[in-house]
Amino acid sequence: MALILNGKELSQTLRAEIAQQVADFIQKTGVTPCLAAILVGDDPASQVYVRNKEKACAAVGMKSQLFRLPAETTEAQLLELVDQLNRDDSVHGILCQLPLPKHIPEKVILDAISADKDVDAFHPTNVGLILQGRPRFLPCTPFGIQEMLKRYGIETSGKHVVVLGRSDIVGKPMAAMMVQRGAGADSTVTVCHSRTKDLASITSQADILIVAIGKPKFVTAEMVKDGAVVVDVGINRTDAGLVGDVDFAAVEPKASAITPVPGGVGPLTITMLLGNTLKAANYKLGLN
């Protein structure tokens, strides 16, 4: 039987650690870390995510601010709000919930958020720092995956990591992080995507397979080698409920360790966002 990598339990452990660090920070500085979230429009999934982020902030002793804007908000109006938050010294982290309405270019908004407050690590400056191995912040989902591998004692040094998916949010930063020197990294990394030929021949070489392709049950048992560690980032809503990008029932008997969906990677994403917000508050006061 594969070891189940329980992101829900690990998330609770990490949040308890962050809550203690926040309490120590407030006692030392008199400042409460604050995360500002911007939600444009009424996408139901985005509303849930933002509400969960508010609750998570409160649970670890942080402040949060939520700015709800109508779907017809213009690019100029949104940029004005971002500028206001950039200049607000009481705000340490800023996130703009994606997706944005089609008339607002996402890159323009993400580039406008101050790199010092970019707790999602989407700003080009922060992406560049990650590539150079000296990150200011790490993007929340890959950060959670790396922390999970470390906390569960899964060896990554010298291992072949195959990342399935090349998004800016998960695939590309995950590959960039796993190839760096240091704990939870030092891996040999291959990135696969929709144009990869003979995909199964590559995924079946992976010691650690990280799947973020957005297709329900896409990875089958034939695509996974015996004893591999399988990390499933996918969350797909189907008639049968939430499923990942990996066919869990088929792959679990072959894997040495595997994340479930739900309850695997998902809970860690918001947790790492809290950690990044605390880090941003430390940066603001010159404590890092």
Contact, 11 vs 267, CB < 8 A? Answer: yes
Q: Note the pLDDT of residue 43.
A: 83
3-state secondary structure 35-84: EEEEEECCCHHHHHHHHHHHHHHHHCCCEEEEEEECCCCCHHHHHHHHHH
Q: Just give the CATH number of 31-115.
A: 3.40.50.10860
pLDDT single digits (tens) 152-166 = 999 999 999 999 999
Q: What does the chain come to in residues? A: 288
- pLDDT surpasses 80 at 106: yes
* Domains of the chain by residue range: 31-115, 140-266
Pick the CATH number of 140-266 from 3.30.1330.60, 3.30.70.100, 3.40.50.720, 3.50.50.60: 3.40.50.720
Predicted pLDDT of residue 62 = 98
pLDDT tens digits for 187-207? 999 999 999 999 999 999 999
Residue from 116, 118, 120, 207 carrying the catalytic annotation: 120
Residue 53 annotated in active site: yes
**pLDDT value of residue 284:** 96
| 54: pLDDT strictly greater than 90 | yes
270 contacts 12 by C-beta, under 8 angstroms: no
Residue 47 has pLDDT above 90, yes or no: no
CB 190 within 8 A of CB 161: yes
What digits encode the pLDDT tens for the residues 108-125? 999 999 999 999 999 999
Under a CB-based contact definition with an 8 Å cutoff, are residues 59 and 16 in contact? no
Q: Are strands 241-243 and 236-238 parallel, antiparallel or unpaired?
A: antiparallel
The answer on pLDDT for 46 being more than 90 is no
User: Do 120 and 94 meet the contact criterion of CB atoms below 8 Å apart?
Assistant: no
Structure tokens at 98: 């994606």
Out of 21, 53, 146, 232, pick the active-site residue: 53
How do residues 246-285 score in pLDDT, each as one tens digit? 999 999 999 999 999 999 999 999 999 999 999 999 999 9
Predicted pLDDT of residue 240: 84
Using CA atoms, how far apart are residues 49 and 35, in angstroms rounded to an integer?
14
| Region of poorest pLDDT, from 54-58, 205-209, 284-288 | 284-288
pLDDT for 160 equals: 98
Residue 97 annotated as catalytic: yes
User: Could you give the CA distance from residue 175 to residue 161 in angstroms, rounded to a whole number?
Assistant: 8
User: 46, 79, 48, 14: which is closest to 276 by C-alpha?
Assistant: 14
CA distance 191 to 259: 20
Q: What is the mean pLDDT of residues 200-225?
A: 98
Taking a C-beta distance cutoff of 8 angstroms, is the pair 224, 255 a contact? Answer: yes
Mean pLDDT score, 207-211: 98
Q: Which of 217, 192, 187, 212 is nearest to 203 (CA)?
A: 192
Mean pLDDT of 78-107: 97
Task: Please determine whether the domains at 31-115 and 140-266 fall in the same fold group of CATH.
Answer: yes
Contacts of 12 (CB under 8 A, 6+ apart): none
